[in-house]
């Protein structure tokens, strides 16, 4: 039984928490700074801006399955350190190219691609590392703290990107992202707690990949989460890939105003993590998850009704509801997976899920770009909101609707 000392007083957890929050802030800045750089510096088209998001997420389709098997074989913290070093170098190259006159759209896409590959390995290692860092009965608390501060960073990021863009150009935001990864490296390097050494594996890589896929295919709860998340990510990233274009071109907001609007729209994410914890205590983890998803899907429909000036309030309210619901459901679903999946196979199971979940993100981004140019940006936002309602429908017709709480870990121990 673990002593109930606050995780805030755990030195190693604080270091991981601080490093991840800072790198999330940098990524949130870059999430606005990269499309602003493409639009304002390179005069990119709507499709090219959407392609930035697509190439950043495309590695999940290509390398996630072998990455999951490799991560199960390696020390997680070392993987995280290497990935953050690679990300820092990739994004630092963008301002260097800008200063030397070499920056182009292919260069920007290449930086996003390298950062995306590093993110695949980092994400799989990070999720698997947390159960080794904190006791199992503190996982929800740890995830709430991590997701809460990450959400706050995501709120601050777009506004900071807008300020930096107005003061020194949008490329400055990409440099800030590189610096944030460097700080995260320093924090991770100072962690003292050693995670257990992974057991040596004699099986072939493709056998281990197949094992993760079989586990996912046989489990009704994990299958449901994967199907719903795949549809949701298609919608969310089709929407997100063109929202900067919508604000700049359709609603005529400047760089600073765009950053502020996106920051305010993300503000709901700060409330999402504690909201999920409260709902889980009162209604149960599975019901709380469905309630969070039920908030996000309808809220997304408000965004395309936004208009210039005062009409931007609708866009902000929409983003706030979506962020609160998605962050809350992510906290609950992530904690469920960490408790439910066998530790020795966690990387492979998560990677199998991620290929489907995240594989739809680049497709959504490209779809948003194509439809944005063919139908119009506002019309495409409405279409993506309708797709998001499909994700909610999958959840409400699944076995989860009969449960108060997510199933216990014992039900997940399938034969290897």
Identify whether 310 is part of a domain: yes
Q: What's the DSSP call for residue 407?
A: P
Question: How long, in residues, is the chain?
Answer: 416
Pairwise CA distance, residues 256 & 37, whole Å? 13
Which residue range is the domain that position 217 belongs to? 11-193+205-412
Does residue 4 sit within a domain?
no
What is the spatial distance between Cα 402 and Cα 399, in angstroms, rounded to a whole number? 6
For the segment 114-142, what is each residue's pLDDT rounded down to a tens digit?
A: 999 999 999 889 888 888 888 877 888 88
pLDDT of residue 106: 94
Here the tokens at position 415 are 């034969």
**How many structural domains compose the chain?**
1
What's the maximum distance between 2 C-alpha atoms anywhere in the chain? 63
Residue 5 lies in a domain: no
- Give dist(CA 234, CA 365) in Å, integer: 8
CB contact at 8 A, 152 and 28: no
Residue 1 lies in a domain: no
Q: What integer pLDDT is reported at residue 2 of this predicted model?
A: 43
Do 250 and 369 form a contact (C-beta atoms < 8 A)? Answer: no
Average pLDDT over residues 175-204: 86
CA distance 372 to 378: 8
3 assigned to some structural domain = no
Rounded average pLDDT over 155-167: 82
Distant-in-sequence, close-in-space partners of 345: CB < 8 Å, separation ≥ 6: 72, 211, 212, 215, 416
Helices marked H in 246-311 — which ranges? 255-265, 268-283, 285-299
At residue 415, does pLDDT exceed 50?
no
Residue 5: pLDDT band with limits 50, 70, 90: low
Spatial CB neighbours of 376, under 8 Å, sequence gap ≥ 6: none
Does 49 or 413 have the greater pLDDT score?
49
Output the pLDDT for position 409: 63
Q: Is 2 contained in some domain?
A: no
Average pLDDT, the chain: 87
- Reported as a single tens digit per residue, the pLDDT across 308-334 is 888 899 999 999 999 999 989 998 998
Q: What is the DSSP secondary structure assignment for residue 371, as one 8-state letter? A: H
User: Concatenated DSSP letters for 129-198?
Assistant: HHHHHS-GGGHHHHHHHHHHHHHHHHHHHHHHHHHHHHHH-THHHHHHHHHHHHHHHHHHHT--PPPPPP
Average pLDDT over residues 102-125: 94
Q: Residue 17 is encoded by which pair of tokens?
A: 């928490």
The pTM (predicted TM-score) of the whole model is 0.72
- Kindly state whether residue 6 falls inside one of the protein's structural domains: no
Q: Is residue 112 part of a domain?
A: yes
What letter does residue 403 receive in the DSSP assignment?
A: -
Q: What is the CATH number of the domain that holds 155?
A: 1.20.1250.20
Instruction: Say yes or no to pLDDT of 212 above 90.
Output: no
What mean pLDDT comes out for the span 164-187?
Answer: 92
Cα separation values, 81 from 105, 154, 297, 339, Å: 28, 22, 36, 25
Q: Rounded to an integer, what distance in angstroms lies between the CA atom of residue 33 and that of residue 151? A: 18
């Amino acid at each position: 039984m673990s002593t109930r000392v606050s995780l805030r007083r755990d030195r190693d957890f604080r270091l991981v928490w601080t490093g991840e929050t800072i790198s999330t802030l940098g990524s949130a800045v870059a999430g606005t700074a990269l499309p602003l750089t493409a639009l304002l510096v390179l005069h990119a088209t709507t499709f090219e801006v959407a392609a930035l998001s697509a190439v950043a997420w495309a590695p999940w389709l290509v390398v996630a399955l072998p990455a999951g098997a490799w991560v199960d074989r390696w020390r997680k913290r070392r993987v995280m350190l290497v990935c953050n070093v690679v990300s820092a170098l990739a994004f630092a190259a963008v301002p260097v190219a800008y200063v030397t006159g070499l920056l182009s759209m292919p260069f920007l896409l290449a930086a996003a691609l390298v950062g995306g590959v590093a993110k695949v390995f980092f994400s799989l290692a990070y999720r698997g590392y947390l159960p080794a860092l904190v006791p199992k009965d503190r996982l929800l608390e740890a995830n709430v703290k991590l997701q809460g501060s990450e959400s706050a960073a995501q709120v601050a990021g777009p506004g900071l990107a807008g300020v930096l863009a107005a003061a020194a150009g949008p490329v400055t935001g990409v440099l800030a992202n590189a610096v944030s990864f460097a700080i995260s490296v320093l924090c991770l390097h100072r962690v003292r707690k050693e995670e257990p050494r992974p057991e040596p594996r004699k099986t072939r890589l493709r056998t281990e990949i197949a094992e993760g896929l079989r586990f996912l295919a046989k489990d009704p709860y994990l299958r449901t989460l994967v199907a719903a998340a795949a549809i949701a990510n298609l919608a969310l990233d089709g929407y997100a890939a063109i929202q900067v274009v919508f604000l700049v071109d359709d609603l005529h907001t400047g760089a600073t105003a765009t950053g502020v609007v996106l920051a305010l729209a993300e503000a709901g994410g700060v409330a999402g993590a504690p909201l999920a914890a409260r709902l889980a205590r009162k209604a149960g983890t599975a019901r709380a998850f469905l309630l969070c998803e039920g908030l996000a899907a309808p809220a997304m429909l408000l965004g395309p009704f936004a208009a210039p000036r005062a009409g931007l309030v609708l866009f902000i309210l929409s983003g706030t509801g979506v962020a609160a619901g998605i962050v809350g459901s992510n906290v609950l679903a992530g904690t469920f997976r960490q408790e439910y999946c066998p530790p020795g196979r966690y990387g492979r199971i998560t990677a199998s899920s991620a290929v489907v979940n995240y594989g739809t993100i680049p497709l959504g981004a490209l779809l948003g770009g194509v439809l944005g140019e063919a139908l119009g940006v506002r019309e495409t936002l409405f279409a993506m909101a309708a797709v998001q309602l499909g994700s909610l429908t999958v959840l409400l017709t699944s076995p989860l609707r009969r449960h108060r709480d997510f199933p216990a870990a014992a039900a997940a121990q399938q034969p290897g």
